[in-house]
Structure 1
């Protein structure tokens, strides 16, 4: 099998996992990955991801953004990586503030607090300056991401989550847009709570020092 065929086989495995809501073994243990060095494995994982992005678009879905994962140094150490990853966000994943999410459609969801940047202009360069990013951003929103993994027991490493569209599942956008000049992205904080019980707290600086770095 050539590289494209190999990627398509793994992409199909992930699609079937999502459709049936049955987890699969870590992809990194598949023979298609085990002979690759780290750089080639990452490239191959993104090829798997892209095949499934194209499949969803072909089925009528719409890409509305990107998510950036592995932005916490602690999580990077846990997975043995030194870089973030990214995945595609689709309109079908989007929920509004206080809109119920049917978790029965997911496999093993987890919730993460996020800062969303809504762009007014495309980012077209390989490397961007802060001025480029600020100029391109229309506003920021508080957001919640519901991540999910098709990999059994969340037993993931870098290539597993990359191939699995960065473990994307659902996201919720807040409804109060804030201009960047009116918020300190690094200092702004969020508390995640269940009723009155605080479950976790964090701020923008936990995202590589500043969300714009991500």
Structure 2
């Protein structure tokens, strides 16, 4: 699947939703979760389905297994069934991608603690030359983030922009994720509201 990585990444990003909205497991697990975002990632040279799980507090082994079962159910039925019905145009034809298989399906957790996590460098992008088309600007920024291995950031940026009611606010949001003429340097003190929100996110697993 690696030759079709870019097309699959784009399709997954465009159709990605927060699976926490559909979580049907124990409340004791839900209360620790912030978001469950599907995407794709390269693991050991192979293109794999990826789920970025942001949580406030770590789960027990029993709780993680319950969460994995719920995500597997979403991949085999709900979101995954909808995604596999999406036609992805590639050279030579149409591709349909399945996140779940009846045989050989396995979820491999890769934990990243908040202490170990580093902030990826923002890819650079000039706003000039897009003729004020916010959709062209958003599409270009999302593509740069995916190429930089920041799929979850691409999904989050798209979600925030699509719920924004102002062109200039949208440019400001995009400029938080990619380096533009409007970006605030990262060595400046962070916005207090955003810092408070980030402190509530205890970690992330993929």
TM-score by length of 1: 0.24
TM-score by length of 2: 0.25
Q: Which structure shows the bigger proportion of residues in strand conformation?
A: 1
